[in-house]
A and B are shown apart, each in its own frame.
Chain A
């Protein structure tokens, strides 16, 4: 059952001219959240902008005793709502509704978990990495961005025993090019006998390429999709994704209820808006 909290902004750390990490005091949501779930944020009271914005839960914030106190969001300033989040000052409040959506299913050992993130698509992987650490699953993070300064929180993942594999389009850090380059190399280097579950989140073309690559190596891939979303609860039917089952024609399903995490083989990628 989702909870709506008028959450106090407890921190807002700017990582660059468009990325920030916003901390919200939302203990009840933090306590319920599962890996890869999202919240709907109303960055300001009033009618402009009118609708909430979906955000993956980035980190679960905890006090010294380990009790959940809040959540953080990895925000990229793109439009009106994300600009308000970027500009938000500690002490202000925003509506926070959640946790919502179908979570990631953490794979247990001896399987390995390979998380593949592009840009702000890093967001759902901290909670997944924490869940995977509980089961001592071996985890790698393939993480790509345009340039080195867009790669953030790599040390956080290292502290969670995640092995980072980095790529930047300009070659300023890690491998030069897309993250699918090192991913392809890793697939090639990994024996068939090792079970690998791939989790991807990022720009649609990246997820599509990752899904195709995983499939070509016979690996299951789950993707976390970001769709334009009106309500987050299944009421509006705006966040639909065209999905294919083995039999019959494809259907639009709501990514707020059926997702945001989908088995990549279900997605009709040609129909997905970029």
Chain B
């Protein structure tokens, strides 16, 4: 039974990647999960310099989900390579470094610094965080912006470049196409959905930032649809995410077209879920006599849908 999957030149032991922003810098979780058993670890989004993020409250629960507006609090790329990367390397984690900038030059500068350090497996370009005013999503919401930042970073690093796409656009597939045209090695999607919750008694927003990003099982069907749409549009490997909490959810994303997946919010609820997900995937492979998990990617069967019994 082979659970490994390939993202271009990068082969992962299995398709499970801890989602950026939901797993600290990875080292926080070394006590609860052997990081080397994960397909990858996407660390918290890094700017060039340290950031404090938004004042709390930064999260609020919603039906089957949560809103967050953390505001990319982070230690910056310099402290990351000094303080966190050595331990991640020692623990043999496959590290996806999520990076964010306010300018294309800043993205490139961070990518250059990371390229100089051993232990970085891939660069995930955060062009989709809904919670910051400058940079990030301004690239992710414009096709030319997406193209420009991906192609610029592509030129300064040999590491795999994986833009993380926002769902807060009309047609996410066109952004996957822009990323592909610009030389991306894969795309990851989706980041959170811009959303809002209000305390009706005080008439105040429940988040200090007023708006935040919705994640969790509530968004899963929309995310699956978006992965499916992108699968039709591009040849690039897709890292799918959005509300994955069970092995069945992983399989659903893979059948829709994802090569690998990220798990975020569910890790907050159950930090020990990784082994359960892997066990569930293995059971499914055994029951369905699947030797290579990768063969599941994009295997959606729509043949029945092709039969129109009643024309509309």
- Asked if A228 and B56 sit within 8 Å, CB to CB, the answer is yes
B53 interface residue (CB < 8 Å to A)? yes
How far in angstroms is the closest Cβ of chain A from B199?
A: 12
A233-B28, A238-B58, A238-B59 as given contacts; A95 in contact with B22, CB under 8 Å:
no
Q: In residues 258-272 of chain B, which contact A (Cβ within 8 Å)? A: 265, 267-272
Please, how many angstroms separate the alpha-carbon atoms of A130 and B282 in the complex? 47
Q: Across the interface, do B22 and A236 meet the contact criterion of CB distance under 8 Å? A: yes
CB pair A50–B265 under 8 Å, yes or no, is yes
Chain A contacts for B21, CB-based, 8 A: 236-237
CB contacts (< 8 Å) of A109 on chain B: these are none
Given contacts A4-B272, A50-B65, contact A235 B28 (CB under 8 A): yes
Contact mask for chain A residues 2-41; partner B; CB cutoff 8 A; 1 contact, 0 none: 1010000000000000000000000000000000000000
A71 smallest CB distance to B (angstroms): 19
The residues of B that contact A228 with a CB separation of less than 8 Å are 56-60
**Roughly how many angstroms separate A99 CA and B53 CA in the complex, as a whole number?**
28
Closest B residue to A95 by CB, please name it. B270
Is the CB–CB distance between B29 and A233 below 8 Å?
Answer: yes
Name the A residues within 8 Å of B268 (CB-CB): 51-52, 230-231, 235-236
State how many residues of chain A have any CB contact under 8 Å with chain B: 32
A63 within 8 A of B: no
- Nearest CB on A from B66, distance (A): 6
Chain B residues 51-85 with CB under 8 Å of chain A are: 52-53, 55-61, 63-66, 68, 70, 73
Question: Which chain B residues numbered 71 to 116 have a C-beta less than 8 Å away from chain A?
Answer: 73
**CB within 8 Å for A240 and B271 given contacts A230-B59, A234-B28, A235-B28:** no
Measured in the bound complex, the distance between the Cα atoms of B21 and A40 in whole Å is 20
* B55–A237 CB distance below 8 A: no
Complex: how many Å from CA A227 to CA B268? 16
Contact in complex: B59, A235 (CB < 8 Å): no
Q: Which of B56, B58, B66, B267 contacts A235 (CB 8 A)?
A: B267
- Evaluate contact between A240 and B61: CB separation under 8 angstroms: no
CB distance from A229 to the nearest CB of B (A): 9
Measured between beta carbons, the chain A residues less than 8 angstroms from B66 are 50-51, 230
Beyond A234-B24, A240-B73, is A273–B56 a contact (Cβ under 8 Å)?
A: yes
Interface size on B, residues (CB 8 A): 36
A218 within 8 A of B: no
CA distance A42 to B65 in the complex (A): 14
Bound Cα distance from A95 to B267, whole angstroms? 14
CB neighbors of B among A53-84 (8 A)? 80
B61 touches A49 (CB 8 A): yes
B70 near A47 (CB under 8 angstroms)? Answer: no
In contact, B271 and A273 (Cβ under 8 angstroms): no
Residue of A nearest to B50 (CB): A251
Contact call B270/A4, Cβ cutoff below 8 A:
yes
| CB <8 Å contact, A48 and B63 | yes
B residues within 8 A CB of A273? Answer: 55-57
**Sample of 23 A–B contacts (CB below 8 Å):** A1-B32, A4-B272, A47-B218, A48-B63, A48-B64, A49-B61, A50-B61, A50-B269, A51-B269, A52-B269, A228-B59, A235-B267, A236-B22, A236-B59, A236-B68, A236-B70, A236-B268, A238-B57, A238-B70, A240-B58, A240-B73, A242-B55, A257-B28
B residues within 8 Å of A by Cβ? 21-24, 28-29, 31-32, 44, 52-53, 55-61, 63-66, 68, 70, 73, 216-218, 245, 265, 267-272
Given contact pairs A1-B31, A2-B31, A51-B269, a sample of 5 additional A-B residue pairs in the complex whose CB atoms are under 8 Å apart: A80-B61, A233-B28, A236-B268, A238-B57, A238-B58
Which A residues lie at the B interface, using CB under 8 A?
A: 1-2, 4, 42, 47-52, 80, 95, 97, 227-228, 230-231, 233-242, 251-252, 257, 271, 273
